[in-house]
Structure 1
Amino acid sequence: MNNFYKNYSGIILLLGGIILGSIAGLVFGKDVVALKPIGDIFLNLLFTAVIPLVFFSVASAIAGISKTNKLSRMMGIMVIVFLATVLISAFLTIMAVRLFPIHEQLQALKITEKIEDKPLADQLTQLFTTDEFYQLLSRRSMLAMIIFSVLIGFATLRAREKASGFVRFLNEGNEVFKHVFILIMKLGPIGLGAYFAYQVGVFGPQLFGAYAKSLGLYYGFGIFYFFALFSVYAFVAGGIRGFKRYWANNIIPSATAIGTCSSIANIPANLNAAKKIGVPDYITNVTIPLGATLHKDGSSISSIVKMAVVFALFGRDFNSADAILLALGMTVLVSIVEGGIPNGGYVGELLFISAYGFPPEALPPAMIIGTLVDPLATLLNSTGDTVAAMLVARFSEGKNWMDVKEAA
């Protein structure tokens, strides 16, 4: 019981703050507008911290990659597998949203900040580039900053030993800002509770319908994806034998993922499962740790659901080709920048809200959905790494990769 509270204390406290804020909003109505500054302070702290956090996270991850010929082909295949499964999960979620439209009947909220709809070419230019360095420090230039972080990471990788001190700086900066983010999130129950009180008091109980429908879609589709798509991936990797081995060795990682609510904490269980399945060690030891940080099918699904709800709440069309194409690209970026820590999805929410130009009022609805789906999202994120390692083995070692492992 103590371990359960330790692992889920963040979610429990956030939900407690949300519930108390909702009650205050229902009871006091528009009088709770006095609490809005508390929520604003919390959101401003998050938006301020996310820029350096994402920079250090991306740059340090790339700079830390080992450049060896033995791993180069495998890592290329691994990247393809990660991208393919994340995009498949995002595309199928978009189809699920079209079949079960959770957003069409939502009434748009009144907002204080104008959102401009621009042509796709202009959106892409502003999303991926900026003409001044200082603009990289703005949350409105998140994607440009991520691209810059990738360039820094590869430049550091090319410099090798000459940049050893800079690599240490990137790694230490990553650790520091992870803890900055954790410290800010300790204010989450108060800040998010205050903001939710404001939203319920001003905009009314219509918000609850949005959350109920989105949660129903996420858990229904997420459970389907867990059993159906992971089974398909395991079958592609190793046929019937791969299917059987995956599910026979996936019980402990699944239970650990739900119990810890952390992909990082589940790495040992996934490593053990992958080795029992027969994935070669050199694939297991790279794919599983990197997958905990970079590969997140569950976050991809939740990103699409959150986007659909936020778009509807702020009166924007989520069914256009432009929005869908950008959403697919955004899910890949969200999967990369989110940490493997509990509630690490908040980084991804900050990213897509900033990239789409939504005002700060868009963050609380996305955070609330992210909090409520976090256990299943972690399950999909984490156990998806094991089946991804099987796919990497299949395309790196050939269709008889399990026989080679057994012979060895």
Structure 2
Amino acid sequence: MEARSVAKNYRFLAILLGSMVLGAIVGWVSPELANKLRPFGTVFINMMFCVVVPMVFASISSAIANMQSRKRAGKIMGVTILTFVITGAIAAVLMFTILKAFPPVQTAWTEVPAEEIGDYASLSDMIVNFFTASDFVGLLSRRAMLPLIVFSMLFGFATNLAGEAGKIVANFLSSLSDVMMKFVQIITYYAPIAFFSIFAGLVADYGSAITESYGRAMLVYYPLCFVYLFTAFPLFAWFGGGKHGIKTMFRHIARPAIVSLGTCSSVATIPTNIEVAKATGISDDVSEIVLPLGATMHMDGSCFSAVLKIAFVFGVFGQKLSWAQLIPIVLVAVFSSVGMSGVPGGGYIGEYIICSIFFPNQMEMAFPILVAIGNLVDPPATMINSSGDYVVSFIVSRFVDGKDWLDKVIAKQQAEA
């Protein structure tokens, strides 16, 4: 891979991180100037709040309304999605356990009572709020992201099942989705200016606590990703491919891991993943469904970061994680990562979900903090997400082609040799 190509793929991320650093310097040197710059950040946040509802509805309902499936493909997809959810939950529980012992924020930036952060109620109430709003108008609020997602999915299914009568609606949703994607891209061009002003204001208010907290968060996140790669992935490969699974995985996984780090894109890693899957002997229909689907849905690294974001903002507000929060945090981490990664602006939507569930009364402060963490952890998260797709294809092959599928592949390769 050419250095020029790698630089191009990281260019916008580098610009965002650079704007954050410059903003932090301005906030440290001149707090008065930083306070004058705040409106430029508020404009960006308000624009994103305005666009998120139509974007989510159009993207999700369009994808479902226009989908097609076959019998074996349906089985492969079912096993694939279930595996994505299970591995994502494992990642979320692991990160929660680590952050319970090693909280990323040692000193609160600001003391906010729990009732001022927002009440996310009991587990039973949270389940109701996850999936429903009291009326249609309630769906149009940024504070009801999960009910909107459920409504969008059901609307897409209804459109798909309507057959010929639903085609006009499906085409409209597809066009609307493209328009909203372009809309988000336009707003995103303004992000470097916004993050410059946002971080100038944050540093002006909270000073060195910010750099210390982000540093601790990265010291937890980066090593965990590499430990997960060399411990959890071999276990998944063994489960999917038996005694030969681990050796086969290590023979091929370096390529997608390196490409994903170089491109910072799960989608850009699909061709490499398909090549190594073919070299492994995974069935074409399995690899051609699992790997593209995984690029948009399999997000163990993003589940790590979702839990880190929640714990981080809790610490910012002077709140601690408790074991009573485990289930809701894991649910939100899996849903915001697995469900939103294929949606245009999906990272932002995942952060909106986290804000709307856990920090509904402090969204304006929590959102830029969450986005900043997302930018900082993006490279290793993408590596885990993308190389994990290849490993999941082992598990899917076990359930679709039999638990001895890899033994048969190796025997065939030896016979041909």
TM range (shorter): over 0.9
Mapped partners of 1:63, 1:336: distance in 2: 19
Q: How has the CA–CA distance of structure 1 residues 257 and 343 changed in structure 2, closer, same or farther, with 3 Å as cutoff?
A: farther
Q: Deviations over 1:97-117 (max 9, x none)?
A: 1232223x2214267993233
Report the equivalent of 1:378.
Answer: 382
Query: Matched residue of 1:326: which SS?
Result: helix
The Cα shift of 1:222 comes to 1.0
Mapped partners of 1:219, 1:118: distance in 2: 30
Mapped partners of 1:159, 1:217: distance in 2: 49
Contact 1:233 1:387 in 2 (8 A): yes
* Matching of residues 221-232 of structure 1 within 5 Å: 221-232=224-235
* Matching of residues 140-289 of structure 1 within 5 Å: 140-289=143-292
Worse-superposed segment, 60-69 or 212-221: 60-69
- Aligned residue type for 2:305: S
The Cα shift of 1:171 comes to 2.7
* Matching of residues 70-149 of structure 1 within 5 Å: 70-103=72-105, 105-109=106-110, 114-120=116-122, 121-149=124-152
Q: Deviations over 1:139-195 (max 9, x none)?
A: 100010011011112212322343223223333333322222222221111101101
How well do the aligned residues superpose, as a CA RMSD in angstroms? 2.2
The Cα shift of 1:124 comes to 3.3
Q: Deviations over 1:298-331 (max 9, x none)?
A: 100011111100111123342141x221111111
Report the equivalent of 2:364.
Answer: 360
- Aligned residue type for 1:183: I
Mapped partners of 2:36, 2:271: distance in 1: 47
Query: Matched residue of 2:69: which SS?
Result: coil
Contact 1:55 1:146 in 2 (8 A): yes
- Aligned residue type for 1:106: T
Query: Matched residue of 2:143: which SS?
Result: helix
The Cα shift of 1:215 comes to 0.7
Match of 1:299 among 302, 306, 319: 302
Q: How has the CA–CA distance of structure 1 residues 70 and 343 changed in structure 2, closer, same or farther, with 3 Å as cutoff?
A: closer
Q: How has the CA–CA distance of structure 1 residues 319 and 110 changed in structure 2, closer, same or farther, with 3 Å as cutoff?
A: closer
Match of 1:43 among 17, 32, 45: 45
- Identical-residue share of aligned pairs (%): 35
Match of 1:391 among 376, 392, 395: 395
Mapped partners of 1:59, 1:389: distance in 2: 27
Contact 1:262 1:342 in 2 (8 A): no
Contact 2:103 2:315 in 1 (8 A): no
Report the equivalent of 1:324.
Answer: 326
Report the equivalent of 1:369.
Answer: 373
Q: How has the CA–CA distance of structure 1 residues 160 and 270 changed in structure 2, closer, same or farther, with 3 Å as cutoff?
A: farther
Query: Matched residue of 1:114: which SS?
Result: helix
Mapped partners of 2:178, 2:266: distance in 1: 17
TM-score, structure 1 normalization: 0.93
Q: Does 1:53 align with 2:58?
A: no
Mapped partners of 1:276, 1:64: distance in 2: 32
* Matching of residues 63-74 of structure 1 within 5 Å: 63-74=65-76
Q: Deviations over 1:26-57 (max 9, x none)?
A: 01124421111111001111222222222233
Query: Matched residue of 1:266: which SS?
Result: helix
Worse-superposed segment, 261-270 or 328-337: 328-337
TM-score, structure 2 normalization: 0.91
Mapped partners of 1:290, 1:172: distance in 2: 22
Contact 1:263 1:340 in 2 (8 A): no
Worse-superposed segment, 158-167 or 280-289: 158-167
Contact 2:104 2:214 in 1 (8 A): no
The Cα shift of 1:72 comes to 2.5
Query: Matched residue of 1:175: which SS?
Result: helix
Q: How has the CA–CA distance of structure 1 residues 197 and 377 changed in structure 2, closer, same or farther, with 3 Å as cutoff?
A: same
Worse-superposed segment, 24-33 or 120-129: 120-129
Query: Matched residue of 2:195: which SS?
Result: helix
Mapped partners of 1:147, 1:186: distance in 2: 30
Q: Deviations over 1:319-345 (max 9, x none)?
A: 141x22111111121123433599852
Paired residues, number? 406
Q: Detail structure 1 runs of 4+ shifted over 4 Å in the superposition.
A: 110-113, 340-344, 403-408
Gaps of 5+ in 1: none
Mapped partners of 1:164, 1:266: distance in 2: 32
Contact 2:242 2:404 in 1 (8 A): no
Contact 1:262 1:340 in 2 (8 A): no
Gaps of 5+ in 2: none
